[in-house]
Amino acid sequence: MTSGHLLVLGASIIWILFCMRFWYAIDREHTWQRRFIAIGAGIGGGLIYLIGVMMLQLLKEPPPPPVEDVTDIRVSAGKRADEAKK
pLDDT of 4-58, one tens digit each? 999 999 999 999 999 999 999 999 999 999 999 999 999 999 999 999 999 999 9
Residue 65, in any domain of the structure? no
Residue 12, in any domain of the structure? yes
Residue 77, in any domain of the structure? no
Domain count, the chain: 1
Q: Which domain holds residue 25?
A: 3-59
- pLDDT(84) > 70: no
Give strand ranges (E) for the chain. none
Q: What is the pTM assigned to this prediction? A: 0.68
- Rounded to 5 degrees, what angle do the CA atoms 38, 43, 47 make? 150
C-alpha distance across the termini of the chain, in Å? 74
- pLDDT(68) > 60: yes
Residue 67, in any domain of the structure? no
